[in-house]
Amino acid sequence: MAGEGFYQEYEVFSRRSDTSPMQYQFSLLAPNAELALVMAQENFLRRESASDIWVVKRSNIRKMTLDEKESLQRLDNKEYRNTKGYGYLKKKWRQYEQGMLDEKEIMSWGGKQSDENPHS
């Protein structure tokens, strides 16, 4: 371990139940993976319950290089695949539902109304 300090950086992930996704929680400094796990349990389980905790040494996590990140950019125009343009539909649907079932509309479905006009 030449060039490294006594403490190493670890990233902590957890999941609430066996079926929930793993989520990032926090970073910590520890001398080794075993103590990092104990520290993660002590710090995390005081606040929340968890069914699983993962502790990963930060240097073991590979991130994308700048060149790799550039490869994620779309080379062609496929904006039509992005659904960001449909965000208004939920609001529009709600307005439609509310307008559709107003009192006037519902009363128009009744046909004869015996209490108000028995001769209709």
| Architecture of the domain whose range is 8-60 | Roll (3.10)
Q: Helices (H) and strands (E) in the chain — how many of each?
A: 4, 3
Domain boundaries, the chain: 8-60
Whether the per-residue pLDDT at 114 is higher than 90: the answer is: no
Q: What would the pLDDT profile of 36-78 be if each residue is shown by its tens digit?
A: 999 999 987 788 888 999 999 999 999 999 988 887 776 666 6
Q: What is the mean pLDDT of residues 10-33?
A: 94
Q: pTM of the prediction?
A: 0.55
Bridge partners of 28? Answer: 10
The pLDDT value given to residue 48: 83
Measured between alpha carbons, how far is residue 37 from residues 15, 51, 78 in Å? 15, 14, 44
